[in-house]
Amino acid sequence: MACPAASSVRPPRPKKEPQTLVIPKNAAEEQKLKLERLMKNPDKAVPIPEKMSEWAPRPPPEFVRDVMQKLDAEFQKRLEKNKIAAEEQTAKRRKKRQKLKEKKLLAKKMKLEQKKQEGPGQPKEQGSSSSAEASGTEEEEEVPSFTMGR
């Protein structure tokens, strides 16, 4: 610890003047207050920030000539590829629809042949159940029990 006599040698601090609170209303007043604060003590060193390096955008990539032509060629290739894929899908679906159509026609022909073979004496249900089993999935048509509009 330092001796007590040395602490009493210190000169007394000057008393600070009470400052009035001023709220700046615009940028000019704010700048004025900052300047006044700096000018109160001109002997005090003022920190001046160094200039920051200026922002520079990234350099562009190497120049590519005929970009549009290259992109157009790639686009055309992609379009052709998509068109071929779409045609293949359409052909596949068309083939599937045709197969179902033929299956329905075949089932209908078999049903008509069975009706002809059964004759008037046999009940309908026995013949239709065997034809339904033979054809697999079959849609039966319902005959309405009434007529509209009469």
pLDDT at 28 over 90: yes
What pLDDT score was predicted for residue 123? 52
- Among the ranges given (12-21, 48-57, 103-112, 121-130), the one the predictor scored with the smallest mean pLDDT: 121-130
What does the domain layout of the chain look like in residue ranges? Answer: 66-117
CB count in 10 Å sphere of residue 41: 9
CB 132 within 8 A of CB 111: no
Is it the case that residue 11 has pLDDT exceeding 80?
Answer: yes
Rounded distance, CA 68 to CA 111, Å?
A: 64
Q: What distance in Å separates the CA atoms of residue 109 and residue 8, rounded to the nearest whole number?
A: 126
Which pair of tokens denotes residue 6?
């040395």
Top-confidence residue, 71 or 82: 82
pTM for this model (two decimals): 0.32
Query: What band does 3 get if pLDDT is binned at 50, 70 and 90?
Result: low
